[in-house]
Structure 1
Amino acid sequence: MTGDALRERLIAVLDPVESWSPERRAGRSDYDLNPDATRRPPGELRPAAVLVPVMAGPDGPTVVLTRRADELTSHAGQVAFPGGRIEPGETALEAALREAWEEIGLDPATVEPLGLGDPYETGTGFLVTPVIGWVGGSAVLTPQPGEVAEIFAPPLAFLLDRANHRQDHYDAPDGARRLYWAMPWEGRYIWGTTAGMLRALTIRLDSRDEAVA
């Protein structure tokens, strides 16, 4: 699929960026695989946003991901999209672009926002809005020292292939077994919320294809 065709396909399945509001409710969550786990009331969820940067590559489109620094006190070493909390007065797009600039040096001027994915509720109490953006070829990425240990970019085709999605688990302190999505790729373990949002994007694209067929 050409870059232009992929851009149009993503725009067709995503919600318009302008449709974001703080009142949006979760469409997907860490609880999809764990319906019996105790959830926070919607009013207690903290708003956050991530940028899902899609870049054209010589072998096809890729998605930019980060591995968080090992010395961080929260989610150290985990794979994530650039992102963080939505500050008062910000939109999801503004927060996602700001965080991407701070974490990986991605110039907002090189990002074409394509749309929003499903709001995603995390087990840690955040309501995360994925902002999917098309990144121009002139973009230069630089990891923020002490925050990002590595930037890497798996093929989009790999991440959207359900054959590469698997359900793994961990045993919580209360003894309950918690399931989560995982997509291991070349020694990196893409899992949890990041994998869950990619799974949700896959479902959106597949549903669009089925509707057109």
Structure 2
Amino acid sequence: MRRWVLAATSEPISRTTTAERLHGFPRRSADRPDLVHAAVALCVTVHDGRPALLITRRAPRLRAHAGQWALPGGRLDPGETVVDAALRELREEVLLTVPPTDVLGVLDDYVTRSGYVMTPVVCWAGEVGTLVGAEAEVAAVHQVPLAYLDVEPTLTRIPESDAPVIALPLLGRQLHAPTAAIIHQFCRIACRGLVTRVAHFEQPVFAWR
């Protein structure tokens, strides 16, 4: 059985350390055939010499979750694997092509209040320069240093649920679940070598639709 090194604080990561920490990760899947299966890309870039994560701001005219922070992703097409779907969504949303050989692992499924099972796929793109999102879907593309994301989350309570609502700070605003939960799990694994579960974290009520 793989041993995990427990770190009290995060440390600089590389493709090699990220791959090592994801190797053998005891992933948990959600067996929910009644829900729509989707994949999101946790795409690590190197921006200004630091590892960063690609995060988009959804276009304001989208019917669902307009203007919210998101990871590139979407529902699986018939016959697609989660890896195929995540890499396709990267190409379609931020015009970035990442080959399957740059996929480092897959994290826990997260079941959303809006009826999806989201599977996060981790890939390492390295230096990619400036990215411009597809206008119909993406208002802005950010490469956020992992050091800004590997922080203690804010946990709050709401009357509609017994589970804590998770949020992370992002560019002067708040990043909520499901994206916040998925990024929190990734940072704990990649930056600290910690196996952390996040499926129990709640979304804010505005994201339930």
- Distance (Å, rounded) in 2 between the aligned partners of 1:83 and 1:119: 13
Cα deviation 1:32-78 (Å, max 9, x = unaligned):
xxxxxxxxx82212111011111112252110100101111100111
- Distance (Å, rounded) in 1 between the aligned partners of 2:130 and 2:147: 23
Q: 2:18 maps to which residue?
A: 10
Q: 2:151 maps to which residue?
A: 161
Measured after TM superposition, the shift of residue 137 of structure 1 is: 1.9
**AA of the residue aligned to 2:183:** L
Contact 2:146 2:187 in 1 (8 A): no
Contact 1:111 1:135 in 2 (8 A): no
TM-score of the two chains, using structure 1 as the length reference: 0.74
Higher percent of residues as strand: 2
- Distance (Å, rounded) in 2 between the aligned partners of 1:140 and 1:110: 22
- Distance (Å, rounded) in 1 between the aligned partners of 2:65 and 2:157: 17
- Distance (Å, rounded) in 2 between the aligned partners of 1:159 and 1:195: 9
Matches within 5 A, 1:63-142: 63-109=53-99, 112-138=102-128, 141-142=131-132
> What secondary structure, in the 3-state scheme, does the structure 1 residue paired with 2:96 have?
coil
Q: Could you tell me which of 43, 46, 50 is aligned with 1:53?
A: 43
Measured after TM superposition, the shift of residue 15 of structure 1 is: 5.3
> What secondary structure, in the 3-state scheme, does the structure 2 residue paired with 1:96 have?
helix
Measured after TM superposition, the shift of residue 170 of structure 1 is: 5.5
Instruction: Structure 1: state its 5+ residue gaps.
Output: 27-40
- Distance (Å, rounded) in 1 between the aligned partners of 2:57 and 2:147: 20
Contact 1:111 1:134 in 2 (8 A): no
Instruction: Structure 2: state its 5+ residue gaps.
Output: 1-10, 196-209
Q: 1:34 maps to which residue?
A: none
**AA of the residue aligned to 1:91:** T
Taking a change above 3 Å as real, the CA distance of residues 209 and 187 of structure 1, as seen in their structure-2 partners, is closer
Contact 1:15 1:116 in 2 (8 A): no
Higher percent of residues as helix: 1
**AA of the residue aligned to 1:93:** V
**AA of the residue aligned to 1:204:** I
Contact 2:98 2:125 in 1 (8 A): no
Q: 1:184 maps to which residue?
A: 169
Q: 1:25 maps to which residue?
A: 29
Measured after TM superposition, the shift of residue 185 of structure 1 is: 2.0
Measured after TM superposition, the shift of residue 127 of structure 1 is: 1.1
Contact 1:110 1:136 in 2 (8 A): no
Q: 2:182 maps to which residue?
A: 197
Contact 1:159 1:183 in 2 (8 A): yes
CA RMSD of aligned residues (A): 2.9
Percent identity for Structure 1 against Structure 2: 33
Measured after TM superposition, the shift of residue 128 of structure 1 is: 1.0
In the alignment of these two chains, the number of paired residues is: 184
Taking a change above 3 Å as real, the CA distance of residues 205 and 64 of structure 1, as seen in their structure-2 partners, is closer
